[in-house]
Amino acid sequence: MSELSKKKCIPCSGDIPPFNEEEIKIFMKKVKNWECKKNDKGHFYLSKEFKFENFENSFNFINDVSKIAEDENHHPDLKFGWGYANIIISTHAINGLAESDFVLAAKIDQISV
């Protein structure tokens, strides 16, 4: 279990700045195989694609992710279909990334795939 996965997501009221590139680099080392990307407005987000053998496994994984998201009160964007699930995480209140985004990513990585 990673250090981040033991933490709780902290609700963001929008009064903190998003992580800068240096902070993102530090935290990217703490999560497994997530990508940091920029959207068309230049805001950073985390992204990861998971592969599965069938639709049911994809669905069950998304169900597990949704339970974690509810427990943490931090909700990623989810897309899934036959054999895959895509997850996008960011903190909408600050248009970027904060520690809670990485905490959620680490918790998602704890799910058996």
**Which class is domain 35-113?**
alpha beta
Paired tokens of 95: 């248009």
Distances (CA, A) of 8 to 28, 81, 89, 105: 18, 29, 15, 12
Please give the pLDDT value at position 23: 98
Please give the pLDDT value at position 113: 75
Q: How much is the pTM? A: 0.94
Please give the pLDDT value at position 1: 58
Please give the pLDDT value at position 77: 98
pLDDT (tens place) for every residue of the chain, 113 residues total = 579 999 999 888 888 999 999 999 999 999 999 999 999 999 999 999 999 999 999 999 999 999 999 999 999 999 999 999 999 999 999 999 999 999 999 999 999 87
